[in-house]
Amino acid sequence: MSKMQSVAVIGLGSMGMGVAKSCLRADFDVYGVDVNPAALEELASCGAKATSTSAVAFAQELDAVVVLVVNAQQVRTVLFDSGLVAALKPQTPVMVCATISAEDAKAIAADLATYSLPMLDAPISGGAVKAAAGELTVMASGSQAVFAQLEPVLSAVASQVYTVGEEIGMGSTVKIIHQLLAGVHIAAGAEAMAMAARANIPLDLMYDVVTHAAGNSWMFENRMKHVVDGDYSPKSMVDIFVKDLGLVADTAKSLHFPLPLASTALNMFTTASNAGYGKEDDSAVIKIFPGITLPNKE
């Protein structure tokens, strides 16, 4: 097997940009793809081999493709609608990191196989900070051969790689169950901080207490800091959790499994989205609570 040298990262949001920069630090030739010109410029200034709104132009140069878009439709757009799959060399591994249903993962893998392109079902977690540090958690499923092909990339971007199994879709299912917790933790954190606001407890004090006590969670510590700062600039949007908790609900329905807490959290995020907060940081779910005054960014 020839040495893996060139990697395209498709989707240069807060997670994708971190993955691309981690690959640069690992001395890959990195090609960046995004519709946002500012993201392309940022990655180019960091030493990317090339950046573009499409990977087709440099498809023949690539040893691997990493896809970090939001949903299954976007995965299909960047791979199939763009013409990329037809332009890639056969056996180029495609690492799909989007949070999608197991059914969508299986269907995308089957369609990639018609072009002789192996897929790793490889959702990720850790947030923008871990992505930038090359310390993501990857929960992946796929053949042993595609794991072996992508090992250099996985080593560059992740500190934890969980091999969930060979069956495509298993990695996505693990991520969906993880997102159940993430969404519920944000919703619960927002509820607690909203109650503190109602009780006239200073939110910076409440935040400090919780982050030094047993009620803390990674999501509380990360997201409720945005509430304390009054800064809802999106790292992960409210609408992302409408989508992800929708996937949780769909997966539970297929398993005939009740989800009392996740269902409530989905309703909270959906309410926030309908109120106009869908493009704000997911911590903006706190804005659905009436009769409270929240900090404003100065």
Which residues are catalytic, by number? 175
User: For residues 249 and 175, what is the distance between their CA atoms, to the nearest angstrom?
Assistant: 13
CB–CB of 270/241 below 8 Å?
no
Residues 108, 72: Cα–Cα separation, whole Å: 8
Cα dihedral 237, 242, 245, 247 sign: negative
Helix intervals (H) in 118-198: 127-133, 144-157, 170-198
Task: Say which DSSP state 74 is in.
Answer: H
Closest CA to 19 of 102, 118, 125: 125
DSSP 3-state assignment of 191? helix
Q: By C-alpha distance, which of 194, 252, 199 is closest to 228?
A: 194
d(CA 182, CA 125): 10
Task: Please report the sign of the dihedral spanned by the C-alpha atoms of residue 110, residue 112, residue 117, residue 122.
Answer: negative
> What are the b/e assignments for 224-251, b being 16+ CB within 10 Å?
bebbbbeebebbbbbbbbbbbbebbbeb
Give 296's Cβ-side CA count (13 Å radius).
2
**E strand or H helix at 64:** strand 64-67
